Structure 1
Amino acid sequence: MSGRINIIIPLFNDWQAVNLLLERIQSVVTASVVQRMAFLIVDDCSVTDYENLPIGIGQSLSILRLYRNVGHQKAIALGLSYLADQDEPQTTIVMDADGEDRPEDIEKLIQQSLSEPGRIVFAHRAKRHEALLFRASYQVYKWLFLLLTGKTITFGNFSLVPAGLLRKLAHVSSIWNNYPGGVIRSRLPYTAVPLERGRRLAGESKMNFVSLILHGLSAVSVLIDTTAVRLVLFSALMIAASVLGIGVVVYMKLFTETAVPGWASYLVASFLIVILQAFLISLLLVFIVLAYRTQVQFIPARQYRDFVERVELIY
Structure 2
Amino acid sequence: MLLPTAKTLVLMPYYEDTRACQLLLQALRAQLGPDCFVLFVDDCSPQQPLTASALADAGLPGRILRLRRNAGHQQALALGLQYLAPHLQPQQQLVLMDSDGEDAPEAIPGLLAQLSQSAGAIDAVVAARGRRRERWTFVACYRAYQLLFRLSTGRVLDFGNFMVLSASGAQALAARPSLPVHMAASLLASDLRLGRHTVDRAQRYAGVSKMNLSALVGHGLRAIRVFKTRVLQRLRHAALLLAGLAAVLAWLSTGQSGSGMALFGFWGCSALALLCVLLYGLLAWKLASSYPQPDMAMVAATIDVPAPAAGQRRPE
TM-score normalised by length of structure 1: 0.83
| Kept in 2: contact 1:235–1:282 (CA 8 A) | no
**Identity over aligned pairs, percent:** 31
Change (3 A) 1:18 1:124: same
State the SS of the aligned residue for 1:194.
Answer: strand
State the SS of the aligned residue for 2:143.
Answer: helix
State the SS of the aligned residue for 1:128.
Answer: coil
| Kept in 2: contact 1:10–1:76 (CA 8 A) | yes
| Kept in 1: contact 2:177–2:291 (CA 8 A) | yes
- The structure that is helix-richer by fraction is 1
Superposed structure 1 runs of 4+ greater than 3 Å apart: 56-59, 87-90, 263-285, 295-298
Aligned partners of 1:121 and 1:231: how far apart in 2?
32
1:33-92 CA distances to partner (integer Å, 9 max, x unpaired)?
322211111111112224752515455122111121121111111111111133747321
Q: Which residue of 1 aligns with 2:231?
A: 227
Q: Which residue of 1 aligns with 2:82?
A: 81
| Kept in 1: contact 2:14–2:40 (CA 8 A) | yes
Aligned partners of 1:215 and 1:54: how far apart in 2?
29
Aligned partners of 1:202 and 1:142: how far apart in 2?
28
Shift, 1:3, TM fit: 3.9
Aligned: 1:43 with 2:42? yes
Moved more, 168-177 or 86-95: 86-95
State the SS of the aligned residue for 1:202.
Answer: coil
Q: Which residue of 1 aligns with 2:101?
A: 99
Unaligned runs of 5+ in 2: 307-316
Change (3 A) 1:132 1:117: farther
Q: Which residue of 1 aligns with 2:311?
A: none
**Which residue of the other structure, out of 295, 300, 312, is the alignment partner of 1:309?**
300
Aligned partners of 2:202 and 2:232: how far apart in 1?
36
| Kept in 2: contact 1:73–1:177 (CA 8 A) | yes
Aligned: 1:177 with 2:168? no
Aligned: 1:203 with 2:207? yes
Could you tell me which amino acid in structure 2 is paired with residue 45 of structure 1? Answer: C
Shift, 1:266, TM fit: 9.1
| Kept in 2: contact 1:66–1:308 (CA 8 A) | yes
Aligned partners of 1:64 and 1:185: how far apart in 2?
28
**Which residue of the other structure, out of 216, 226, 234, is the alignment partner of 1:212?**
216
| Kept in 2: contact 1:242–1:274 (CA 8 A) | no
| Kept in 2: contact 1:11–1:42 (CA 8 A) | yes
Shift, 1:307, TM fit: 2.2
1:117-164 CA distances to partner (integer Å, 9 max, x unpaired)?
432111012111122111221122112111111111111111111112
After TM superposition, list the pairs within 5 Å mapping 1:153-164 onto structure 2. Answer: 153-164=157-168
Aligned partners of 1:115 and 1:264: how far apart in 2?
59
Aligned partners of 1:40 and 1:199: how far apart in 2?
22
Aligned partners of 1:219 and 1:140: how far apart in 2?
14
**Which residue of the other structure, out of 146, 167, 174, is the alignment partner of 1:142?**
146
Change (3 A) 1:55 1:233: same
State the SS of the aligned residue for 2:295.
Answer: helix
